[in-house]
Amino acid sequence: MENIKHCAVVVRRPQDVWEGTRTALGLAAHNYWAYLFVFDVEVEMNEALEENLEWLEEMECEAYSNLKINERHGFKHIPLEKLARELKKMDLVIPFGNRGNRKEEINA
């Protein structure tokens, strides 16, 4: 990963928000510019998540969401169109979490 400087962690499920913040923190601790993108998820705050978000802020990591309601937790609002442009600037994009069983989605 020697040519990688900017990393995006993309979270799309509520149960992955905390782990996604931990991943972004881990990247920042290893001197990468880490960005957290949470979209289509209303963040439910708890003490552990609040602490992680504070650490992200201290490490100068940006946290974005396409839902304006998440601004109350320190996320910067970003429309999906701008999100796509920002992700193109990243050296590495990490789609975080399992989107579910593909077979179940097909049969639904």
Predicted local confidence at residue 2, as pLDDT: 72
- Whether 54 has a pLDDT exceeding 60, the answer reads yes
* 1 assigned to some structural domain: no
Which two three-digit tokens encode residue 81?
Answer: 């169109």
How far is Cα 50 from Cα 97, in angstroms, rounded to an integer? 20
Mean pLDDT score of the chain? 88
Q: Could you tell me if 97 and 19 are in contact, meaning their C-beta atoms sit under 8 angstroms apart?
A: yes
Range of the domain at 50: 6-107
Q: Which of 6, 25, 32, 27 is nearest to 90 (CA)?
A: 6
Render pLDDT for 12-51 as a digit per residue (tens, 0 to 9).
Answer: 999 999 999 999 999 999 999 999 999 999 999 999 999 9
CATH number at residue 75: 3.40.1260.10
How many percent of the chain have pLDDT more than 70? 89
pLDDT at position 3: 82
In a domain, 80, yes or no: yes
Number of compact structural domains in the chain: 1
Domain assignment present for residue 78? The answer is yes
Amino acid at the residue 14: P
- Residue 68 DSSP class: G
pLDDT at 61: 92
